[in-house]
Structure 1
Amino acid sequence: MTRITAWRRHPLARYAVLIFALALVGMVYAAFVQAGKPADAALAAGKVDDVAEGKSLFVQHCSSCHGMNAEGTATGPTLVGVGAAAVDFQMSTGRMPAADPGAQAPRKPLAKWVTPQAISQIGAYVQSLGGGPQVPGKEQVDPAGGDAGKGGELFRANCIQCHNWAGAGGALTRGKYAPDLNQASPTQIYEAMITGPQAMPVFNDTTITPEEKQSMIAYITQVREQKDPGGFGLGRIGPVTEGLVAWIAGLSALALAAIWITAKKRQKS
Protein backbone atom coordinates (compact mmCIF):
# COMPACT_ATOMS: atom_id res chain seq x y z
CA MET A 1 0.00 0.00 0.00
CA THR A 2 2.91 2.29 0.71
CA ARG A 3 4.23 2.03 -2.86
CA ILE A 4 0.77 2.60 -4.36
CA THR A 5 0.19 5.60 -2.11
CA ALA A 6 3.58 7.03 -3.00
CA TRP A 7 2.92 6.55 -6.73
CA ARG A 8 -0.43 8.27 -6.45
CA ARG A 9 1.26 11.26 -4.85
CA HIS A 10 3.86 11.47 -7.61
CA PRO A 11 3.62 14.76 -9.65
CA LEU A 12 3.25 12.85 -12.95
CA ALA A 13 0.53 10.50 -11.70
CA ARG A 14 -2.33 12.80 -12.68
CA TYR A 15 -1.00 13.10 -16.24
CA ALA A 16 -0.62 9.34 -16.57
CA VAL A 17 -4.23 8.82 -15.43
CA LEU A 18 -5.45 11.49 -17.87
CA ILE A 19 -3.60 9.91 -20.83
CA PHE A 20 -4.93 6.48 -19.93
CA ALA A 21 -8.51 7.80 -19.70
CA LEU A 22 -8.26 9.58 -23.07
CA ALA A 23 -6.84 6.47 -24.74
CA LEU A 24 -9.64 4.35 -23.28
CA VAL A 25 -12.33 6.77 -24.49
CA GLY A 26 -10.74 6.87 -27.94
CA MET A 27 -10.71 3.10 -28.28
CA VAL A 28 -14.34 2.79 -27.16
CA TYR A 29 -15.43 5.53 -29.59
CA ALA A 30 -13.55 3.94 -32.49
CA ALA A 31 -15.14 0.58 -31.74
CA PHE A 32 -18.65 2.06 -31.83
CA VAL A 33 -17.97 4.03 -35.03
CA GLN A 34 -16.60 1.00 -36.83
CA ALA A 35 -19.55 -1.09 -35.71
CA GLY A 36 -22.17 1.47 -36.71
CA LYS A 37 -20.75 2.93 -39.92
CA PRO A 38 -18.62 1.15 -42.53
CA ALA A 39 -15.41 2.95 -43.45
CA ASP A 40 -15.78 2.14 -47.09
CA ALA A 41 -18.99 1.41 -48.98
CA ALA A 42 -17.45 -0.89 -51.56
CA LEU A 43 -15.58 -3.06 -49.08
CA ALA A 44 -18.47 -3.12 -46.60
CA ALA A 45 -20.78 -4.43 -49.33
CA GLY A 46 -18.34 -7.26 -50.00
CA LYS A 47 -17.46 -5.94 -53.47
CA VAL A 48 -13.72 -6.30 -53.12
CA ASP A 49 -13.55 -7.43 -56.75
CA ASP A 50 -15.07 -4.09 -57.83
CA VAL A 51 -12.20 -2.25 -56.18
CA ALA A 52 -9.63 -4.43 -57.96
CA GLU A 53 -11.38 -4.11 -61.33
CA GLY A 54 -11.79 -0.40 -60.76
CA LYS A 55 -8.10 0.04 -60.12
CA SER A 56 -7.30 -1.84 -63.34
CA LEU A 57 -9.63 0.41 -65.34
CA PHE A 58 -8.29 3.48 -63.60
CA VAL A 59 -4.70 2.63 -64.53
CA GLN A 60 -5.71 2.07 -68.15
CA HIS A 61 -7.87 5.13 -68.71
CA CYS A 62 -7.33 7.69 -65.94
CA SER A 63 -3.76 7.44 -64.63
CA SER A 64 -2.24 9.53 -67.43
CA CYS A 65 -3.90 12.63 -65.92
CA HIS A 66 -4.59 11.66 -62.31
CA GLY A 67 -1.51 9.57 -61.53
CA MET A 68 -1.05 5.86 -61.00
CA ASN A 69 -2.43 6.08 -57.47
CA ALA A 70 -4.84 8.98 -58.09
CA GLU A 71 -2.35 11.31 -56.42
CA GLY A 72 -2.80 13.90 -59.17
CA THR A 73 -0.48 15.37 -61.80
CA ALA A 74 0.07 18.70 -63.51
CA THR A 75 -2.89 18.02 -65.81
CA GLY A 76 -5.31 16.40 -63.36
CA PRO A 77 -6.16 16.86 -59.66
CA THR A 78 -5.83 14.24 -56.96
CA LEU A 79 -8.89 12.04 -56.53
CA VAL A 80 -8.12 10.93 -52.99
CA GLY A 81 -11.15 11.82 -50.86
CA VAL A 82 -13.46 12.96 -53.70
CA GLY A 83 -15.66 9.89 -53.30
CA ALA A 84 -17.63 7.67 -55.65
CA ALA A 85 -20.26 10.38 -56.22
CA ALA A 86 -17.73 12.62 -57.97
CA VAL A 87 -16.64 9.73 -60.21
CA ASP A 88 -20.24 8.87 -61.08
CA PHE A 89 -21.08 12.48 -61.93
CA GLN A 90 -18.02 13.18 -64.05
CA MET A 91 -18.12 9.89 -65.96
CA SER A 92 -21.89 9.49 -66.38
CA THR A 93 -22.08 12.97 -67.95
CA GLY A 94 -19.19 12.26 -70.31
CA ARG A 95 -16.98 14.95 -68.81
CA MET A 96 -14.42 12.33 -67.90
CA PRO A 97 -12.27 11.06 -69.38
CA ALA A 98 -11.59 14.52 -70.77
CA ALA A 99 -10.89 14.92 -74.47
CA ASP A 100 -8.99 18.22 -74.18
CA PRO A 101 -7.66 20.14 -71.21
CA GLY A 102 -9.50 23.42 -71.01
CA ALA A 103 -11.22 25.91 -68.76
CA GLN A 104 -14.09 23.48 -68.24
CA ALA A 105 -14.88 19.93 -69.31
CA PRO A 106 -18.09 19.89 -71.39
CA ARG A 107 -20.83 17.29 -71.28
CA LYS A 108 -20.42 14.83 -74.15
CA PRO A 109 -21.45 11.33 -75.29
CA LEU A 110 -19.94 8.49 -73.31
CA ALA A 111 -16.95 6.55 -74.62
CA LYS A 112 -17.66 2.94 -75.63
CA TRP A 113 -15.89 1.46 -72.61
CA VAL A 114 -17.70 3.76 -70.15
CA THR A 115 -20.55 1.55 -68.96
CA PRO A 116 -22.53 1.75 -65.70
CA GLN A 117 -20.51 -1.20 -64.42
CA ALA A 118 -17.18 0.44 -65.29
CA ILE A 119 -18.27 3.68 -63.61
CA SER A 120 -19.31 1.77 -60.49
CA GLN A 121 -16.01 -0.11 -60.34
CA ILE A 122 -13.85 2.99 -60.75
CA GLY A 123 -16.03 4.73 -58.17
CA ALA A 124 -15.49 1.84 -55.75
CA TYR A 125 -11.73 2.11 -56.23
CA VAL A 126 -11.67 5.88 -55.69
CA GLN A 127 -13.94 5.50 -52.66
CA SER A 128 -11.49 3.02 -51.16
CA LEU A 129 -8.63 5.54 -51.38
CA GLY A 130 -9.95 8.04 -48.89
CA GLY A 131 -13.71 7.97 -48.54
CA GLY A 132 -15.79 10.95 -49.64
CA PRO A 133 -19.40 11.48 -50.81
CA GLN A 134 -21.09 8.30 -51.99
CA VAL A 135 -23.58 7.85 -54.83
CA PRO A 136 -27.06 8.70 -53.46
CA GLY A 137 -29.75 6.05 -53.32
CA LYS A 138 -32.82 6.13 -55.56
CA GLU A 139 -35.06 7.16 -52.68
CA GLN A 140 -32.90 10.26 -52.10
CA VAL A 141 -33.27 11.56 -55.65
CA ASP A 142 -36.90 10.68 -56.35
CA PRO A 143 -38.62 13.97 -57.35
CA ALA A 144 -41.94 12.62 -56.08
CA GLY A 145 -40.60 12.70 -52.54
CA GLY A 146 -39.76 16.41 -52.62
CA ASP A 147 -41.71 19.66 -52.28
CA ALA A 148 -41.33 21.55 -55.58
CA GLY A 149 -42.53 24.82 -54.02
CA LYS A 150 -39.91 24.70 -51.27
CA GLY A 151 -37.34 23.52 -53.80
CA GLY A 152 -38.07 26.54 -55.97
CA GLU A 153 -37.38 28.88 -53.05
CA LEU A 154 -34.07 27.15 -52.33
CA PHE A 155 -33.09 27.10 -56.01
CA ARG A 156 -33.79 30.81 -56.43
CA ALA A 157 -31.80 31.59 -53.28
CA ASN A 158 -28.75 29.49 -54.14
CA CYS A 159 -28.60 28.64 -57.85
CA ILE A 160 -30.23 31.12 -60.24
CA GLN A 161 -27.23 33.46 -60.12
CA CYS A 162 -25.41 30.93 -62.29
CA HIS A 163 -27.95 28.46 -63.65
CA ASN A 164 -30.87 30.82 -64.40
CA TRP A 165 -34.35 30.41 -62.88
CA ALA A 166 -35.20 27.54 -65.24
CA GLY A 167 -31.80 25.83 -65.10
CA ALA A 168 -30.86 27.00 -68.60
CA GLY A 169 -27.30 27.80 -67.52
CA GLY A 170 -25.16 30.86 -68.16
CA ALA A 171 -21.67 32.23 -68.70
CA LEU A 172 -19.12 32.66 -65.91
CA THR A 173 -15.61 34.14 -65.89
CA ARG A 174 -12.38 32.83 -67.46
CA GLY A 175 -14.12 30.68 -70.05
CA LYS A 176 -16.21 28.76 -67.51
CA TYR A 177 -19.98 28.44 -67.53
CA ALA A 178 -22.88 27.05 -65.55
CA PRO A 179 -24.26 24.15 -67.60
CA ASP A 180 -27.83 23.59 -68.71
CA LEU A 181 -29.60 21.37 -66.17
CA ASN A 182 -32.24 20.06 -68.56
CA GLN A 183 -30.05 17.09 -69.52
CA ALA A 184 -29.02 16.23 -65.98
CA SER A 185 -30.65 13.27 -64.23
CA PRO A 186 -31.89 13.61 -60.63
CA THR A 187 -28.88 11.58 -59.45
CA GLN A 188 -26.45 13.84 -61.32
CA ILE A 189 -28.08 16.96 -59.85
CA TYR A 190 -27.73 15.56 -56.33
CA GLU A 191 -24.13 14.52 -56.97
CA ALA A 192 -23.25 17.97 -58.28
CA MET A 193 -24.53 19.55 -55.08
CA ILE A 194 -22.50 17.28 -52.78
CA THR A 195 -19.28 17.26 -54.83
CA GLY A 196 -19.07 20.77 -56.32
CA PRO A 197 -17.78 20.04 -59.83
CA GLN A 198 -15.91 22.65 -61.89
CA ALA A 199 -16.71 26.16 -60.56
CA MET A 200 -19.70 25.03 -58.50
CA PRO A 201 -19.49 25.29 -54.69
CA VAL A 202 -20.20 22.29 -52.47
CA PHE A 203 -23.62 22.22 -50.78
CA ASN A 204 -23.08 19.66 -48.05
CA ASP A 205 -25.81 18.34 -45.77
CA THR A 206 -25.22 21.06 -43.18
CA THR A 207 -25.82 23.76 -45.81
CA ILE A 208 -28.70 22.12 -47.67
CA THR A 209 -30.21 19.03 -46.07
CA PRO A 210 -30.90 15.85 -48.09
CA GLU A 211 -34.63 16.59 -47.89
CA GLU A 212 -34.07 20.09 -49.27
CA LYS A 213 -31.91 18.70 -52.06
CA GLN A 214 -34.73 16.35 -53.00
CA SER A 215 -37.14 19.30 -53.10
CA MET A 216 -34.76 21.22 -55.37
CA ILE A 217 -34.64 18.21 -57.71
CA ALA A 218 -38.45 18.16 -57.71
CA TYR A 219 -38.49 21.85 -58.75
CA ILE A 220 -35.86 21.45 -61.49
CA THR A 221 -37.60 18.47 -63.06
CA GLN A 222 -41.03 20.15 -62.79
CA VAL A 223 -39.86 23.32 -64.52
CA ARG A 224 -38.74 21.27 -67.53
CA GLU A 225 -42.32 20.14 -68.12
CA GLN A 226 -43.82 23.63 -67.90
CA LYS A 227 -44.99 25.25 -71.12
CA ASP A 228 -44.25 28.85 -72.04
CA PRO A 229 -47.61 30.66 -72.00
CA GLY A 230 -46.24 33.60 -73.99
CA GLY A 231 -45.18 31.46 -76.95
CA PHE A 232 -41.61 30.64 -77.94
CA GLY A 233 -39.43 30.51 -74.81
CA LEU A 234 -36.17 31.49 -76.58
CA GLY A 235 -34.29 28.89 -74.56
CA ARG A 236 -35.50 30.52 -71.32
CA ILE A 237 -32.20 32.35 -71.13
CA GLY A 238 -33.76 35.49 -69.67
CA PRO A 239 -35.06 39.03 -70.28
CA VAL A 240 -31.89 40.26 -72.01
CA THR A 241 -32.31 37.77 -74.83
CA GLU A 242 -36.05 38.36 -74.98
CA GLY A 243 -35.52 42.13 -75.16
CA LEU A 244 -32.86 41.76 -77.86
CA VAL A 245 -35.13 39.61 -80.00
CA ALA A 246 -38.00 42.03 -79.47
CA TRP A 247 -35.88 44.97 -80.59
CA ILE A 248 -34.47 43.18 -83.62
CA ALA A 249 -37.84 41.77 -84.68
CA GLY A 250 -39.65 45.04 -83.94
CA LEU A 251 -37.17 47.31 -85.71
CA SER A 252 -36.97 44.93 -88.67
CA ALA A 253 -40.76 44.94 -88.96
CA LEU A 254 -40.86 48.76 -88.84
CA ALA A 255 -38.11 49.03 -91.47
CA LEU A 256 -39.89 46.59 -93.79
CA ALA A 257 -43.17 48.43 -93.27
CA ALA A 258 -41.51 51.76 -94.12
CA ILE A 259 -39.97 50.28 -97.30
CA TRP A 260 -43.32 48.80 -98.33
CA ILE A 261 -45.21 52.06 -97.76
CA THR A 262 -42.58 54.07 -99.67
CA ALA A 263 -42.66 51.63 -102.57
CA LYS A 264 -46.47 51.91 -102.78
CA LYS A 265 -46.33 55.71 -102.90
CA ARG A 266 -43.77 55.64 -105.72
CA GLN A 267 -45.97 53.34 -107.80
CA LYS A 268 -48.97 55.71 -107.46
CA SER A 269 -46.96 58.79 -108.44
Structure 2
Amino acid sequence: MSATPSPTTPPSAFEPRRILVTGADSGIGKATAVALAAPGRHVAITWHSDSDGAARTAAEVREAGATAHVSRLDLTDPERGAGVVDALAAEMGGLDTLVLCSGTGTAEPLLDMDYARWREVVAVDLDGAFCCLRAGARHMVDGAAGGRIVAITSVHEHAPRVGAAPYCAAKGGLGLLVKVAALELAEHGITVNSVAPGEIATPMTGQEDESPLAGKDRPGIPVARPGDAREVAAVVAFLCGPDAGYVNGASWVVDGGMLQMGPQAGSHLERNDWRRP
Protein backbone atom coordinates (compact mmCIF):
# COMPACT_ATOMS: atom_id res chain seq x y z
CA MET A 1 0.00 0.00 0.00
CA SER A 2 1.42 3.38 -0.97
CA ALA A 3 1.35 6.28 1.47
CA THR A 4 1.89 8.89 -1.25
CA PRO A 5 0.00 12.11 -0.43
CA SER A 6 -3.26 12.55 -2.33
CA PRO A 7 -3.04 14.41 -5.68
CA THR A 8 -5.40 16.97 -4.14
CA THR A 9 -2.64 17.91 -1.69
CA PRO A 10 0.15 19.62 -3.66
CA PRO A 11 3.73 18.95 -2.60
CA SER A 12 4.14 22.65 -1.83
CA ALA A 13 1.71 22.24 1.08
CA PHE A 14 4.37 20.46 3.16
CA GLU A 15 5.72 22.38 6.13
CA PRO A 16 8.23 21.08 8.69
CA ARG A 17 6.43 21.00 12.03
CA ARG A 18 7.97 18.18 14.07
CA ILE A 19 11.69 18.41 13.46
CA LEU A 20 14.67 16.48 14.78
CA VAL A 21 18.23 17.78 14.30
CA THR A 22 21.00 15.53 15.58
CA GLY A 23 24.28 17.04 16.73
CA ALA A 24 22.63 20.39 17.35
CA ASP A 25 24.71 21.55 20.32
CA SER A 26 26.99 23.63 18.07
CA GLY A 27 28.05 24.41 14.51
CA ILE A 28 25.90 23.42 11.56
CA GLY A 29 23.46 21.45 13.71
CA LYS A 30 22.81 24.43 15.97
CA ALA A 31 22.40 26.82 13.05
CA THR A 32 19.99 24.38 11.39
CA ALA A 33 17.84 23.91 14.49
CA VAL A 34 17.52 27.69 14.85
CA ALA A 35 16.82 28.18 11.13
CA LEU A 36 13.97 25.66 11.27
CA ALA A 37 12.46 27.03 14.48
CA ALA A 38 9.22 28.99 14.11
CA PRO A 39 5.99 29.52 16.06
CA GLY A 40 3.92 26.35 16.28
CA ARG A 41 6.81 24.04 15.45
CA HIS A 42 8.52 21.45 17.63
CA VAL A 43 12.31 21.19 17.29
CA ALA A 44 14.15 18.29 18.92
CA ILE A 45 17.91 18.65 19.31
CA THR A 46 20.50 16.10 20.38
CA TRP A 47 23.95 16.45 21.87
CA HIS A 48 26.79 14.08 22.64
CA SER A 49 29.26 15.81 24.97
CA ASP A 50 28.20 19.48 25.20
CA SER A 51 25.06 19.75 27.30
CA ASP A 52 25.60 23.49 27.81
CA GLY A 53 25.77 23.99 24.05
CA ALA A 54 22.52 22.06 23.66
CA ALA A 55 20.89 24.26 26.29
CA ARG A 56 21.98 27.38 24.40
CA THR A 57 20.56 25.98 21.16
CA ALA A 58 17.28 25.15 22.91
CA ALA A 59 17.08 28.70 24.24
CA GLU A 60 17.45 30.14 20.73
CA VAL A 61 14.84 27.72 19.40
CA ARG A 62 12.40 28.91 22.05
CA GLU A 63 13.21 32.55 21.31
CA ALA A 64 12.11 31.84 17.73
CA GLY A 65 8.73 30.68 19.04
CA ALA A 66 9.16 26.91 18.73
CA THR A 67 8.94 24.23 21.40
CA ALA A 68 12.35 22.71 22.12
CA HIS A 69 13.06 19.09 23.08
CA VAL A 70 16.55 18.01 24.14
CA SER A 71 18.14 14.57 24.43
CA ARG A 72 21.63 13.07 24.58
CA LEU A 73 22.65 10.90 21.62
CA ASP A 74 25.78 8.71 21.63
CA LEU A 75 26.26 7.13 18.23
CA THR A 76 29.41 5.24 19.18
CA ASP A 77 26.71 2.64 19.91
CA PRO A 78 24.76 3.22 16.68
CA GLU A 79 21.69 1.12 17.48
CA ARG A 80 20.90 3.37 20.43
CA GLY A 81 20.22 6.11 17.93
CA ALA A 82 16.90 4.55 16.95
CA GLY A 83 15.70 4.63 20.54
CA VAL A 84 16.50 8.33 20.87
CA VAL A 85 14.68 9.11 17.62
CA ASP A 86 11.67 7.09 18.79
CA ALA A 87 11.56 8.84 22.15
CA LEU A 88 11.78 12.34 20.67
CA ALA A 89 9.16 11.53 18.04
CA ALA A 90 6.85 10.38 20.83
CA GLU A 91 7.44 13.67 22.70
CA MET A 92 6.53 15.69 19.61
CA GLY A 93 3.56 13.55 18.61
CA GLY A 94 5.29 12.36 15.44
CA LEU A 95 8.12 13.30 13.11
CA ASP A 96 8.09 14.85 9.64
CA THR A 97 11.60 16.35 9.30
CA LEU A 98 14.97 14.80 10.15
CA VAL A 99 18.38 16.45 9.75
CA LEU A 100 21.40 14.26 10.46
CA CYS A 101 24.29 16.45 11.65
CA SER A 102 26.11 14.20 14.15
CA GLY A 103 29.64 13.38 13.10
CA THR A 104 33.28 12.96 14.01
CA GLY A 105 36.54 12.71 12.09
CA THR A 106 40.29 12.05 12.12
CA ALA A 107 43.57 13.68 11.17
CA GLU A 108 45.78 10.60 11.05
CA PRO A 109 47.46 8.69 8.21
CA LEU A 110 45.78 5.35 7.58
CA LEU A 111 49.09 3.50 8.09
CA ASP A 112 49.17 4.80 11.67
CA MET A 113 45.47 4.22 12.40
CA ASP A 114 44.24 1.30 14.45
CA TYR A 115 41.02 -0.52 13.71
CA ALA A 116 39.27 0.79 16.83
CA ARG A 117 39.62 4.38 15.65
CA TRP A 118 38.41 3.43 12.17
CA ARG A 119 35.35 1.74 13.65
CA GLU A 120 34.56 4.69 15.94
CA VAL A 121 34.38 7.15 13.06
CA VAL A 122 32.43 4.84 10.75
CA ALA A 123 30.06 3.91 13.59
CA VAL A 124 29.15 7.53 14.25
CA ASP A 125 29.21 8.93 10.72
CA LEU A 126 27.64 6.05 8.79
CA ASP A 127 26.18 3.34 11.02
CA GLY A 128 24.61 5.86 13.39
CA ALA A 129 23.21 7.88 10.51
CA PHE A 130 21.64 4.71 9.08
CA CYS A 131 19.99 3.81 12.40
CA CYS A 132 18.59 7.31 12.87
CA LEU A 133 17.47 7.64 9.26
CA ARG A 134 15.67 4.31 9.30
CA ALA A 135 13.92 5.09 12.59
CA GLY A 136 12.91 8.55 11.44
CA ALA A 137 11.63 7.30 8.09
CA ARG A 138 9.45 4.72 9.81
CA HIS A 139 7.72 7.48 11.81
CA MET A 140 7.18 9.50 8.64
CA VAL A 141 5.70 6.52 6.81
CA ASP A 142 3.41 5.82 9.76
CA GLY A 143 2.32 9.48 9.75
CA ALA A 144 1.31 9.19 6.06
CA ALA A 145 1.86 12.90 5.46
CA GLY A 146 5.21 12.90 3.69
CA GLY A 147 8.46 14.18 5.10
CA ARG A 148 11.94 15.55 4.60
CA ILE A 149 15.29 13.94 5.46
CA VAL A 150 18.60 15.76 5.01
CA ALA A 151 22.00 14.30 5.85
CA ILE A 152 24.98 16.58 6.40
CA THR A 153 27.82 14.86 4.60
CA SER A 154 30.89 16.86 3.49
CA VAL A 155 32.76 17.80 0.36
CA HIS A 156 34.56 14.58 1.28
CA GLU A 157 31.44 12.75 0.16
CA HIS A 158 32.88 13.60 -3.26
CA ALA A 159 36.63 14.07 -2.83
CA PRO A 160 39.33 12.56 -0.57
CA ARG A 161 41.50 14.20 2.08
CA VAL A 162 44.81 13.01 3.50
CA GLY A 163 44.43 11.83 7.10
CA ALA A 164 40.67 11.32 6.86
CA ALA A 165 40.30 7.76 5.55
CA PRO A 166 37.38 6.65 7.78
CA TYR A 167 35.69 10.03 7.55
CA CYS A 168 35.83 10.06 3.75
CA ALA A 169 34.70 6.43 3.54
CA ALA A 170 31.77 7.09 5.87
CA LYS A 171 30.68 10.31 4.15
CA GLY A 172 30.90 8.68 0.73
CA GLY A 173 28.81 5.79 2.04
CA LEU A 174 26.29 8.18 3.59
CA GLY A 175 25.95 9.96 0.27
CA LEU A 176 24.96 6.71 -1.43
CA LEU A 177 22.69 5.74 1.46
CA VAL A 178 20.86 9.02 0.86
CA LYS A 179 20.38 8.14 -2.81
CA VAL A 180 19.02 4.67 -2.04
CA ALA A 181 16.68 6.08 0.61
CA ALA A 182 15.51 8.72 -1.88
CA LEU A 183 14.46 5.97 -4.28
CA GLU A 184 12.76 3.82 -1.67
CA LEU A 185 10.95 6.53 0.29
CA ALA A 186 9.66 8.68 -2.57
CA GLU A 187 6.44 6.66 -2.85
CA HIS A 188 5.64 7.77 0.70
CA GLY A 189 6.04 11.45 -0.13
CA ILE A 190 9.41 11.60 1.67
CA THR A 191 12.38 13.29 0.02
CA VAL A 192 15.96 12.49 1.04
CA ASN A 193 18.93 14.71 0.18
CA SER A 194 22.41 15.49 1.41
CA VAL A 195 24.23 18.77 2.00
CA ALA A 196 28.00 18.63 1.54
CA PRO A 197 29.79 21.52 3.28
CA GLY A 198 33.35 22.58 2.67
CA GLU A 199 35.38 24.38 5.33
CA ILE A 200 32.87 25.92 7.73
CA ALA A 201 33.77 28.01 10.80
CA THR A 202 32.63 25.53 13.47
CA PRO A 203 34.15 23.73 16.48
CA MET A 204 34.96 20.76 14.22
CA THR A 205 37.37 22.96 12.23
CA GLY A 206 38.73 24.66 15.35
CA GLN A 207 36.89 27.92 14.63
CA GLU A 208 34.10 28.01 17.19
CA ASP A 209 32.38 31.39 17.46
CA GLU A 210 34.82 32.95 14.99
CA SER A 211 33.63 35.05 12.09
CA PRO A 212 34.52 33.50 8.72
CA LEU A 213 34.60 37.00 7.25
CA ALA A 214 37.45 38.47 9.30
CA GLY A 215 41.11 37.67 8.71
CA LYS A 216 40.45 34.30 7.06
CA ASP A 217 42.34 34.25 3.80
CA ARG A 218 41.80 30.96 1.94
CA PRO A 219 43.58 31.12 -1.44
CA GLY A 220 42.45 27.59 -2.30
CA ILE A 221 38.75 28.52 -2.08
CA PRO A 222 37.42 30.73 -4.89
CA VAL A 223 35.42 32.91 -2.47
CA ALA A 224 38.63 33.12 -0.35
CA ARG A 225 37.09 32.40 3.06
CA PRO A 226 35.52 29.64 5.16
CA GLY A 227 31.74 29.38 5.25
CA ASP A 228 29.37 30.37 8.02
CA ALA A 229 27.24 27.63 9.57
CA ARG A 230 24.16 29.72 8.85
CA GLU A 231 24.96 29.59 5.14
CA VAL A 232 24.74 25.80 5.30
CA ALA A 233 21.62 25.94 7.46
CA ALA A 234 19.88 28.12 4.86
CA VAL A 235 20.32 25.37 2.24
CA VAL A 236 19.08 22.73 4.67
CA ALA A 237 16.04 24.86 5.52
CA PHE A 238 15.19 25.15 1.82
CA LEU A 239 15.43 21.36 1.37
CA CYS A 240 13.16 20.87 4.38
CA GLY A 241 10.60 23.38 3.17
CA PRO A 242 7.61 23.50 0.84
CA ASP A 243 9.52 24.66 -2.24
CA ALA A 244 11.84 21.63 -2.36
CA GLY A 245 9.25 18.96 -3.02
CA TYR A 246 10.83 18.01 -6.37
CA VAL A 247 14.41 17.81 -5.03
CA ASN A 248 15.21 14.19 -4.20
CA GLY A 249 18.42 12.17 -4.02
CA ALA A 250 20.63 15.21 -4.60
CA SER A 251 23.86 16.30 -2.95
CA TRP A 252 24.01 20.07 -2.44
CA VAL A 253 27.62 21.20 -2.19
CA VAL A 254 28.14 24.32 -0.04
CA ASP A 255 31.88 24.98 -0.28
CA GLY A 256 32.56 28.36 -1.87
CA GLY A 257 33.74 26.60 -5.02
CA MET A 258 36.41 24.46 -3.31
CA LEU A 259 35.65 21.29 -5.26
CA GLN A 260 36.16 23.11 -8.55
CA MET A 261 39.80 23.76 -7.67
CA GLY A 262 41.27 20.30 -8.38
CA PRO A 263 43.22 21.01 -11.58
CA GLN A 264 43.81 24.63 -10.58
CA ALA A 265 45.27 23.66 -7.18
CA GLY A 266 47.29 20.90 -8.79
CA SER A 267 49.04 23.37 -11.06
CA HIS A 268 49.74 25.90 -8.30
CA LEU A 269 50.87 23.84 -5.29
CA GLU A 270 54.59 24.36 -4.77
CA ARG A 271 55.26 22.20 -1.69
CA ASN A 272 54.60 18.62 -0.58
CA ASP A 273 53.23 19.44 2.89
CA TRP A 274 49.75 18.41 1.68
CA ARG A 275 50.93 14.78 2.00
CA ARG A 276 50.59 14.95 5.82
CA PRO A 277 47.47 15.72 7.86
TM-score, length-normalised on structure 1? Answer: 0.27
Structure that is richer in helix per residue = 1
Structure that is richer in strand per residue = 2
Question: Which has the higher relative contact order, 1 or 2, with Cα contacts under 8 A spaced 6 or more apart?
Answer: 2
TM-score, length-normalised on structure 2? Answer: 0.26
